[in-house]
Structure 1
Amino acid sequence: MASAPVESHADAVAHLLRASLDDPGTAWSLGSFGAIAEFLRDPDEPVTALPDARLGLATARGAIALDVLPELRPLAYETAFTSGWNHAVALCLPADACAMGRRAVVTELGPDRQAARVEDRDAVLFDLGLGLAAVDACVRTSDPAALACLRAGLGRPLFDTANPIGPHLVAMSPHRVFLVRFGRIEVFSEIPGPGGTNPEGPHTHVLPKLLKGGRTHAATTPIPAGLVPCGAIHPPHPYKDAMGMRIPFEPARLTAFQALLEHWADPDWLAIKRGGAARPGGPISPKHAQSARRAAALQAQYLRGEFSCEEEAPGDEDEDA
C-alpha cells in the first residue's frame, strides 16, 4: 500500500496562510518595531478576491496580498506578562533575505502596478523613507493636491521639520501600503488626527520614538538568531477580541493555537513550555523560557476556571516591548 505523500514546507506554509485568510477572526500585521500595518475584517464584511495568483483578499477598508516564498518561516509563539499572555505566528525570513529598499528619504516609486485592486494600479506609490531593514512603509495616491505635496517633500526625511508632507499627511490620508519581501498590507481608511483612535479595522502605526531603536521586534518575542520577523498572523485569542477587549474565555481558541504551536513553534521553546529544561547553550534565553512557563501556568488557571468573565481583562502589553 502506497504511503501518503509528505507535505512540503511550501505546501504547509501555503495551507497555513490560506486557512488564516479564510478565518475572519484572524488579524494580520506586516512591518517592523515601530512601523506596523494591520489588516482585519468583520465576519460579515464583503470581501473581494485578488485579480492575480497571490494569496489574499480586499475589503472596502483594506487589502492583504501574500506570496509563498521558499525561505518564509512561520514561527508560532506566546509571550506572557503579569496576568495574561499574547500569541502570534511570526512570519520570518533569514536576515540575509529580508532586505527591502532601506531608503532614508521620501522617494517616488511610480505607479503601484502590484496593488491588490486593479483600480489602484495607476495611483503613485511613495516610500516614506523610514530606513527600515525589512519593510518599505509607503503611501499611495492619485489625488493631484496630495501628489503635489508628496513631491514637494521628495529627497528629505519624513520627520524633517522642513518637510511639507508631515503637517498635511493626516488631512491627505493617502492609502498606506506596507511592503515586505513576501507581501503587502494596504489601508484605505482615513488617518486619525491628533487625539484620535485607530479605526476598528485595517490601520497603521508609525511611532518615531520606537523607530530610533532600530529593532525589528520586541525584546519579549522569542525569535531565533538569524531570522527577522517581517509580519505576523494573529489568530483569535481565548480571552480578548481583535481590538483587545475582554470576552468570555473560549477554550476552543486556546486548543486551536496549541495545535499551531505543535506545528510551527521552535522545538526548544515548546519543550520548555511543556515543563522541560532549557538546553545549555540552546537558542532560548532565560527570559523567554520564563515567559513560556508563565504562559503555560496562566493557561492552566484559565482552564480550571480561576478567572471569571466579569474580571477586567489582563493587561495587553508585553514587558520590555
Structure 2
Amino acid sequence: MARPLQADAVTTLLRDALEDPDTAWSMGSFGAIAEFMRDPDEGVVALRDSRLGMATRRGAVALTPTSQLRPVAYETAVASGWNHAVALCLPLDACAMSGRKVVTELGPDTEAARAEDRNGILFDLGLGLLAIDACVRASDPEVVACLRDGVGKPLFEFGNPIGARLVAMSPHRVFLSRIGRVEVYAAIPPTGGTSPEGPHTHVLPKLLRAGRTHAATTPIPEGFVPCGALHPAHPYKDALGQRIPFDRSRHDAFQVLLTTWGDPDLLAIKRAAEAGADDPGDGQLRSRFVQAARRVAAVQSRYLRGEAFVEDEAAAEDDDEDRGHA
C-alpha cells in the first residue's frame, strides 16, 4: 500500500500543489463534492492564519493537515484513457465528522477563509456522510430564514422548504473535513444546467444512497478514507475536461507523484506492463486495481509513442467517478 512519509514531505506536497494554478482541489465523498480551482491570472488572497490555502472571488481552499494525513496517488482506467489524482486520506478511526442526518444550524462560520464571511450563518445539510460535513452559509436574512425553516428535517424530505429554493438562493457551499475545507461562492446551476467554470459543487442523491466514501475504482488503502484530493494537470485534457494535445511534461510530473505517493505493488505491476514483463508478486495482487494498472500502462504507452486516437463522441467522455459525480 501507499508508503507513509514524513510530515514535512506531505506539507511540501500540499504547498507545491497550492502554488500551481493548474492543480484543482476537492473535498467530499461519493455523491457530494466541492471543487476549487483558479485561473493562472486570477487574484488570490492569502489566508490570515496558520492554514494552508487561499481564497479567490469564486471560492477558497483551507487545509489543516494532521500527522495522520496520507496522500495516495493513483490512476484509474476510463473508457477512452485514464484519470489521475492524489487522494488525501485519514485512518478510518480519525476521519469521522458529525454524521448529522437532518439540517442543523451551526452558528456563525468563525473559520471561514475570508474575514468578511465569518458572520455568515453555517448550516449542515445533514447528508449523513462519514468524513464530510456538507454545509451552506448565508448572511442574507431571507435566506437564513428559509434555511432555519428546514432545520430538523432531512434535506430531501418532501415539504422541506430548502430543497425547492436552494438553487435560487445559492448560498455559499462549505464542505468540511478533518483536513480542512473547500468553499464555493458561485451560483448553483439550475437542473440540467452546466456547472460554472471554476469552483462548484455536486450533490447527487442517487450516488449518496450507495453509502460509499469513494468510488469502487479508486485504490484507497484498507483502513483509510479519502477526505479530499488534489488534481494535478492532466496530460490530455484541460480543466474543463476538453481534449488538448498530449503534454508529456504533465504526464512525467504525475509519474513522479505516483512513484512517491502511490501504492508500490500497483506501481510495480504497471511498470512490468510497460516493460512487457510478467507481473511481479503472486496471485493475491490480482484485482480490479491490477487490471486498471495494466490498462493505464497500455493506453499511456500509445500516447507516449505519439499514436493518434480516433474516438467517437461517447468514448471521449471520460468517467469522473473518481470525484464522486458520475
> For the superposition of Structure 1 and Structure 2, which TM-score range results when normalised by the shorter chain?
over 0.9
Provide structure 1 residue ranges, at least 5 long, that are not aligned to the other structure.
Answer: 1-6
Per-residue deviation, 1:318: 6.0
C-alpha distance in structure 2 between counterparts of 1:250 and 1:64, whole Å: 27
Per-residue deviation, 1:281: 6.8
Pair 1:295 & 2:296 matched: yes
Whether the aligned pair in 2 keeps the contact of 1:158 and 1:165 (CA below 8 Å) is yes
**2:317 counterpart letter in structure 1:** G
C-alpha distance in structure 1 between counterparts of 2:135 and 2:286, whole Å: 35
Cα deviation 1:127-171 (Å, max 9, x = unaligned): 000000000000001110001000011000000012111101111
Equivalent residue number for residue 67 of structure 1:
64
CA distance 1:206–1:285, shift in 2 (3 Å)? farther
Equivalent residue number for residue 277 of structure 1:
279
- TM-score, normalised via structure 2 length: 0.92
Cα deviation 1:279-310 (Å, max 9, x = unaligned): 4475x552110100111111110011112699
CA distance 1:309–1:55, shift in 2 (3 Å)? farther
C-alpha distance in structure 2 between counterparts of 1:107 and 1:115, whole Å: 18
Of the candidates 34, 38, 53, which is equivalent to residue 35 of structure 2? 38
Per-residue deviation, 1:315: 3.3
CA distance 1:208–1:310, shift in 2 (3 Å)? closer
Whether the aligned pair in 1 keeps the contact of 2:79 and 2:318 (CA below 8 Å) is no
Equivalent residue number for residue 102 of structure 1:
99
C-alpha distance in structure 2 between counterparts of 1:299 and 1:215, whole Å: 29
C-alpha distance in structure 1 between counterparts of 2:172 and 2:108, whole Å: 13
Per-residue deviation, 1:82: 3.0
**2:256 counterpart letter in structure 1:** A
Pair 1:85 & 2:82 matched: yes
Whether the aligned pair in 2 keeps the contact of 1:249 and 1:309 (CA below 8 Å) is no
Alignment: residue pair count: 314
Of the candidates 111, 116, 131, which is equivalent to residue 114 of structure 1? 111
Give the root-mean-square deviation of aligned CA atoms.
Answer: 1.9
Equivalent residue number for residue 128 of structure 2:
131
Provide structure 2 residue ranges, at least 5 long, that are not aligned to the other structure.
Answer: 273-277
Cα deviation 1:13-36 (Å, max 9, x = unaligned): 100000000000001111000000
**Residue 291 of structure 1: SS of its match in structure 2?**
helix
Equivalent residue number for residue 275 of structure 2:
none
C-alpha distance in structure 2 between counterparts of 1:318 and 1:19, whole Å: 24
C-alpha distance in structure 2 between counterparts of 1:319 and 1:38, whole Å: 14
- TM-score, normalised via structure 1 length: 0.94
**Residue 270 of structure 1: SS of its match in structure 2?**
helix
CA distance 1:85–1:8, shift in 2 (3 Å)? closer
C-alpha distance in structure 2 between counterparts of 1:306 and 1:125, whole Å: 51
Whether the aligned pair in 2 keeps the contact of 1:47 and 1:57 (CA below 8 Å) is yes
Pair 1:58 & 2:44 matched: no
**1:315 counterpart letter in structure 2:** E
Per-residue deviation, 1:311: 8.6
Equivalent residue number for residue 286 of structure 1:
287
C-alpha distance in structure 1 between counterparts of 2:255 and 2:81, whole Å: 16
**Residue 189 of structure 1: SS of its match in structure 2?**
coil
Q: Map 1:219-238; keep pairs closer than 5 Å.
A: 219-238=216-235
Equivalent residue number for residue 213 of structure 1:
210
Whether the aligned pair in 1 keeps the contact of 2:236 and 2:244 (CA below 8 Å) is yes
Whether the aligned pair in 1 keeps the contact of 2:36 and 2:200 (CA below 8 Å) is yes
CA distance 1:204–1:159, shift in 2 (3 Å)? same
**Residue 274 of structure 1: SS of its match in structure 2?**
helix
**Residue 110 of structure 1: SS of its match in structure 2?**
strand
Equivalent residue number for residue 3 of structure 1:
none
